[in-house]
Structure 1
Amino acid sequence: MNRLFFQPHQAGLSKVEAAEHTLRNINPDVQFEVHNYNITTVDNFQHFMDRISKGGLKEGQPVDLVLSCVDNFEARMAINTACNELGQVWMESGVSENAVSGHIQLIKPGETACFACAPPLVVAANIDEKTLKREGVCAASLPTTMGVVAGLLVQNVLKYLLHFGTVSFYLGYNAMQDFFPTMAMKPNPHCDDKYCQTQQSEYKRKEAEKPKPEVVAEEKEEEIVHEDNDWGIELVSEVSEEELKAATGPVPELPEGITVAYTIPIKEPTAGVTVEESEQSLEELMAQMKSM
């Protein structure tokens, strides 16, 4: 956040205060509520949950969506626990330590995997992440990667809130290969978060109560049989390919690679009375007809 919003004259301000000042200058019509504290402590966590459940635009109503832009697993787990307990939909985002990849993830408690359903090894093994810091090594910072991930997050938020397009449950970004993997993860029935398991049971109950679509039975068409056939209409078998070839005329000369499906058949002479050829002139024939 400090890479995207911080300005030199804001030196000395906290990240949230600097972000609020910058964003307020961009759009003064937006309402901001700033809290500068650690959400992982007991007292602050309760206040954090209270603002999620009662901090909507309408007083006393929950917020529509929670966005996570934190940079450590402990804070992500705190957000995950709060949203699971409240049944609050939220979007998680992050950038890798090498700053060339990132991801966004939509989490619906009970319906999709929460952050604790498939946790990183550092969380699954209950290791203090502070002990993972390597001597002389710090996380890379690349504002372009953070800007791309932030843009993907906001775009997904707009689609979710305004109901258009396809909302991605998980969308990754690999800057080295310009690769955008996407997928959806089901919740883990053995998740360590008890509220996640509660939300899973509630989601299954709601799905079971939904009315099932009616299955329309296929109506069999009755065979139509006519006892009378005044017009003499008969059904004959289809003409075979051999019969079709036999009925066609000669194949014209065509360039190589071009063929014809059929040709115009040769017409047979019309059956009936024919007139024999005669050397008599027309006048002589007309005189014979008059004398008859």
Structure 2
Amino acid sequence: MNRLFFQPHQAGLSKVEAAERTLRNINPDVVFETHNYNITTVDNFTRFMDRISHGGLQEGAPVDLVLSCVDNFEARMAINTACNELGQIWMESGVSENAVSGHIQLIIPGETACFACAPPLVVAANIDEKTLKREGVCAASLPTTMGVVAGLLVQNVLKYLLNFGTVSRYLGYNAMQDFFPSMSMKANPQCDDRYCRLRQEEFQKREAERPKQDEVLDMEEQQVIHEDNEWGIELVSEVTEAELQAASGPVPDLPEGITVAYTIPEEKGHAASDGAVVEDSEQSLEELMAQMSRM
């Protein structure tokens, strides 16, 4: 927060106030609501849950999504507890202490693993993180790593809210190797959070009530899109992969996950009507016309 939003003239302001002023200058059309308090205390946790439940753009409506950009496990667990209790979808993010790796994670209560389902060792072992000795920790975080992780988080938010592309369930970032691991974790039936277990039961019940895939396919086949065909439009088979390869040029050797949009066919001579190849004589149009006039 300090490295991405804070400006020198904002010295003395809290992180919340500094971030709000910087972001308001960037986009004054956005409506901001700031709260500067510790969400891990009992009183503030209740206030925090109330804003999630009634802090939407429409009066009294819940928020669409919660983004977690906190820097400690205690605050993450507080957000996790609140979202599990409310059934609120949220995205968790973080950067490692050595500032060269980070991650983003979509958490859907009951469907995906919550933060307590697969917690870090410091949480699983009930260790007070304030007592940990952090030797070898980088003294100054890298704003570049934070910027990359923040960009990945915002991109995932846009895909989720605007419903395009594939929303990542978990996406990591290793700056040392430019490695982006991606995976999806199911909720843990033995999770310590009782609201997480309750949300899992609700999710399994909804899944059991959903129509099976075969029933959905049968319904789609029975639907008639157009009873008449005034313009005589017909649906023909698409070009097969073999036909496409035959009409394309050579495909370069690419790493897994990367494909070419199109290929350039190999240059060949012009084909005659009998299938023979006619070589290019490199004669100009005037020379060819002169030859025809002498015939």
Per-residue deviation, 1:2: 1.2
2:20 pairs with 1:4: no
Structure 1: how far apart are the matches of 2:59 and 2:198? 27
Q: Deviations over 1:246-266 (max 9, x none)?
A: xxxxxxxxxxxxxxxxxxxxx
Normalised by the length of structure 1, the TM-score is 0.72
Q: Paired residue for 2:103?
A: 103
| Superposition pairs of residues 115-126 of structure 1, within 5 angstroms | 115-126=115-126
What letter matches 1:197 in structure 2? R
Distance 1:199 1:10, change over 3 A: same
Q: 1-side partners of 2:21 and 2:215: how far apart?
A: 58
Q: Structure 1 residues 210 and 20, CA, compared in 2 at 3 Å: closer, same or farther?
A: same
SS in 1 for 2:103: strand
Residues 72 and 214 (structure 1 numbering): CA distance in 2 closer, same or farther, change over 3 Å? Answer: same
Which digits, 9 at most, give the CA deviation of each residue in 1:56-77, with x for residues without a partner?
0001100000000000000000
Q: Structure 1's 26 and 201: CA in aligned 2 closer, same or farther, altered over 3 A? A: same
Partner of 2:19: 19
CA distance in 1, matches of 2:108, 2:23: 28
Counterpart of 2:106 in 1: which secondary structure? strand
Match of 1:85 in 2: 85
- Which runs of 5 or more residues in structure 2 are unaligned? 218-295
Name the structure 1 match of 2:70. 70
- In structure 1, the residue matched to 2:202 is 202
Aligned to 1:92, the other structure's residue is in SS state strand
Among all aligned residue pairs of Structure 1 and Structure 2, give the percentage whose two residues are the same amino acid.
86
Aligned to 2:51: 51
Matched, 1:157 2:157: yes
User: How many residues get paired?
Assistant: 218
| Aligned CA-pair RMSD | 1.7
Give the gaps of 5 or more residues in structure 1.
218-292
Alignment of 1:1-292 (within 5 A): 1-134=1-134, 140-214=140-214
| TM-score, structure 2 normalization | 0.72
Distance 1:207 1:22, change over 3 A: same
CA 102–135 in structure 1, closer or farther in 2 if over 3 Å, else same: closer
Contact 1:97–1:140 (Cα < 8 Å) also in 2: no
**SS in structure 2 of the partner of residue 4 of structure 1:** coil
